[in-house]
């Protein structure tokens, strides 16, 4: 009569050790790629907002007073959500220095922290 065949405890431990080793390599890369993706989306959102502000200025001859003006006038479908701060309310607006038109001339991220390249998000 033969005994039941199966995996020994040692074989299972070796397989678990291999899986754990592979995970320690893969998981940090996964999270870094997520962070790179968020940063790419943030750069694109900033470029889109700035382009919309420029188009608004080109069409009306003045800067928008609030970011919602870009949505109301159909330059944007909606104010984008800052992927780092995870809210649409944290955009830092920079007003024009012209005393006759103090509308929004530029926009920056209000997210705290530093990007993977070492620059602060608020400087983008």
- Of 101, 87, 90, the closest CA to residue 53 belongs to 101
Write down the pTM of the prediction: 0.80
> What is the structure's pLDDT at 85?
93
pLDDT at 4: 72
How many CA atoms lie less than 13 Å away from 72 in the CB half-sphere? Answer: 6
Sign of CA dihedral 47, 95, 79, 123: positive
Q: What is the pLDDT of residues 46-76, one digit of tens each?
A: 999 999 999 999 999 999 999 999 999 999 9
- What are the extents of the domains in the chain? 38-123
What are the residues whose beta carbons fall under 8 Å from the beta carbon of 105, sequence distance 6 or more? 53, 63, 94, 95, 96, 97
What pLDDT is recorded for position 114?
A: 96
In Å, what is the CA distance from 36 to each residue of 1, 15, 46? 60, 32, 15
Q: Are the CB atoms for 42 and 93 separated by under 8 Å?
A: no
Token readout for 109 is 């991220």
pLDDT in tens, 3-34: 677 889 999 999 999 999 999 999 989 999 99
């Amino acid at each position: 009569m033969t005994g039941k065949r199966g995996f020994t405890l040692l074989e299972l431990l070796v397989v678990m050790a291999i899986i754990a080793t592979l995970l320690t390599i893969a998981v940090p890369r996964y999270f870094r790629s997520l962070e790179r993706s968020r940063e790419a989306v943030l750069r694109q959102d900033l470029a889109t907002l700035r382009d919309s502000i420029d188009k608004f200025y080109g069409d009306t001859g003045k800067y928008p007073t609030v970011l919602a003006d870009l949505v109301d006038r159909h330059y944007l479908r909606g104010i984008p959500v800052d992927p780092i701060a995870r809210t649409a309310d944290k955009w830092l607006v920079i007003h024009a220095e012209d005393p006759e038109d103090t509308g929004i001339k530029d926009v920056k991220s209000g997210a705290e922290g530093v990007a993977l390249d070492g620059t602060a998000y608020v400087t983008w």
